[in-house]
Copies of this chain bind each other. A is one copy, B any other.
Amino acid sequence: MRAASIIRVCGRQASTAVSRRALLRTGIRSAVPSTVRSYASEAKLTRETYDVQRLEHFGKLSDADIAKFKEILQSDSALVQDQDDLLQFNEDWMRKYRGSSQLVLKPKTTDQVSQILKYCNEKKLAVVPQGGNTGLVGGSVPVFDEIVISTASMNKIHSFDPVSGILVADAGVILETADQYLREQGYIFPLDLGAKGSCHIGGNVATNAGGLRLLRYGSLHGTVLGLEAVLADGTVVNNLTTLRKDNTGYDMKQLFIGSEGTLGIVTAISILCPPKPTSVNVAFLGLESFKKVQDTFVQARSELSEILSAFECIDQGSLNQVAEHMDSPVPLDETYPFYVLIETSGSNKDHDEEKLNTFLENAMENESVLNGTVAMDETQAQNLWSWREMVPEALAKCGGVYKYDVSIPLPQLYDLVDDTKARLQEAGVIGETDEYPVVDVLGYGHIGDGNLHLNVAVRRYDKKVEQLLEPFVYEWIQKVNGSISAEHGLGFAKKNFIQYSKDAGMLTLMRGLKSHYDPNGILNPYKYM
Say whether A275 faces chain B, with CB atoms less than 8 Å apart: yes
Interface 9-mer from A7-15, A104-112, A157-165? A157-165
Interface 9-mer from A80-88, A241-249, A320-328? A241-249
Nearest CB of B to A449, in Å: 5
Contact of A483 with B305 at beta-carbon distance under 8 Å, contacts A218-B218, A235-B505, A294-B163 already known: no
Within 8 A of B (CB), among A216-267: 218-219, 221-223, 235-239, 241-252, 254-255, 257-259, 263
Q: Which of B162, B247, B498 contacts A490 (CB 8 A)?
A: B247
Nearest CB of B to A136, in Å: 11
Residue of B nearest to A225 (CB): B219
Establish whether residues B506 and A247, one from each chain, have CB atoms under 8 Å apart when the complex forms: no
Residues of B within 8 A of A355 (CB): 347-348, 351
Q: Give the size range of A's interface with the partner.
A: 35 or more
Say whether A357 faces chain B, with CB atoms less than 8 Å apart: no
In angstroms, Cα B241 to Cα A516, docked, is: 25
Say whether A138 faces chain B, with CB atoms less than 8 Å apart: no
In angstroms, Cα B263 to Cα A163, docked, is: 36
Establish whether residues A298 and B162, one from each chain, have CB atoms under 8 Å apart when the complex forms: yes
Establish whether residues A257 and B248, one from each chain, have CB atoms under 8 Å apart when the complex forms: no
Q: Which of B161, B208, B246 contacts A407 (CB 8 A)?
A: B246
Interface 9-mer from A20-28, A43-51, A507-515? A507-515
Within 8 A of B (CB), among A126-149: none
Say whether A172 faces chain B, with CB atoms less than 8 Å apart: no
Say whether A302 faces chain B, with CB atoms less than 8 Å apart: yes
Beta-carbon contacts of A478-503 to B below 8 Å, as 1s and 0s? Answer: 00011111111110001000100111
Nearest CB of B to A435, in Å: 37
Residues of B within 8 A of A71 (CB): none
Establish whether residues B351 and A498, one from each chain, have CB atoms under 8 Å apart when the complex forms: no
Residues of B within 8 A of A411 (CB): 161, 163
Residues of B within 8 A of A510 (CB): 249-250, 252
Q: Which of B164, B218, B246, B513 contacts A222 (CB 8 A)?
A: B218
List 30 interface pairs A-B (beta carbons < 8 Å), by A numbering.
A161-B410, A163-B297, A163-B410, A164-B409, A208-B251, A214-B245, A218-B223, A219-B222, A235-B505, A235-B509, A237-B509, A243-B483, A244-B449, A244-B450, A246-B483, A246-B485, A246-B501, A247-B488, A247-B489, A250-B255, A250-B513, A254-B255, A275-B301, A305-B347, A306-B306, A306-B307, A306-B345, A306-B347, A351-B351, A513-B516
